Amino acid sequence: ELQAVIFDLDGVVTDTAEYHYLAWKALGESIGVPFTREFNEELKGVSRMDSLNKILALGGKENSYSDEEKLELAKQKNDHYVELIKQVTPDDVLPGIRELIADIHAKGLKIGLASVSKNAFAVMDSLQLRDSFDTIVDAAKIRNSKPDPEIFLKAAEQLGVDPAACLGIEDAAAGVTSIKGAGMFAVGVGDSMTLAEADIVYASTAELSLDQLLVQYQGTAV
């Protein structure tokens, strides 16, 4: 029996994935490492320093900066991102998400947030969604970024629910890997090729319906 639904933030609850992309793209260009949206898929759900390291590796620059300089580059990206998310308002919750949250509450299920973003609490406040969640994992207390299962396991633990009774929703390949590694049912939102590891993929959040998700989840339960 399903007991909890655990959401990713960026790209599922709201479209801050686009702001992460814009901020990393600007940083990449400033150091001579331009990249495509396709490459950006590899940064989704990945922590700030891991993302920077992937960009440096793409440009063959993994040994070009000291640790201190890398921290400065990461800070530049984050300062830009923090500037961009100042425009987030409650109107920026993605289509279908408020209805889904309301249905989850109505069914008496628990609801959690598993974002590796250190800006997650600020974004949730801007969306005025913080009180709608039973738990939000603090990214500062997570050792391993997605694709490691740690963050989804932590969300289940904070909710006091068995991971097998949880359903996770993600827009990133690394996030889907994290959900599956945690032993949960994985719902992908986005491209079905990119998110092939998910148990089911929807093209957009507007297509998410709790009744349908329950049917899908029960279909795999033994």
User: Phi/psi of residue 193, each to 5°?
Assistant: -75, -50
| Encoded tokens for 178 | 């994290």
**Cα–Cα distance for residue pair 202/122, rounded to 1 Å:** 27
Bridge partner residues of 141 (DSSP)? none
Rounded distance, CA 9 to CA 94, Å?
10
Catalytic residue flag (residue 8): yes
- The beta-carbon contacts of 203-207 under 8 Å, at least 24 apart in sequence, are 204/94, 204/95, 204/96, 205/12, 205/94, 205/95, 205/96, 205/97, 205/100, 206/94, 206/95, 206/96, 207/96
Report whether 209 belongs to an annotated binding site. Answer: no
Identity of the residue, 65 or 214, whose beta carbon is nearer to ligand G16 in the bound complex: 65
Instruction: Closer to ligand G16 by CB, 98 or 118: give it.
Output: 118
Contacts to ligand G16 from residues 96-135, by CB under 6 A: 115-119
47 is in an annotated binding site: yes
Cα angle value 208/210/213 (rounded, 5°): 80
Residue closer to Mg ion, measured from CB, 11 or 112: 11
Instruction: Closer to ligand G16 by CB, 25 or 110: give it.
Output: 25
Member of 4, 6, 7, 10 binding ligand G16 (CB under 6 A):
10
In the complex, the smallest distance separating the C-beta of residue 89 from Mg ion, rounded to whole angstroms, is 19
CB of 12 to Mg ion, least distance (A): 6
Q: Which residue has the tokens 């007991």?
A: 3
- For residue 41, state whether it binds Mg ion (rule: CB under 5 A): no
Site string for ligand G16, 17-36 (x = CB under 6 A): x--x----------------
Tell me whether residue 10 is one of the annotated catalytic residues.
yes
Active-site positions?
8, 10
Q: Where do contacts with Mg ion occur on this chain (CB under 5 A)?
A: 8, 10-11, 171-172
Annotated binding site for Mg(2+): 8, 10, 170-171
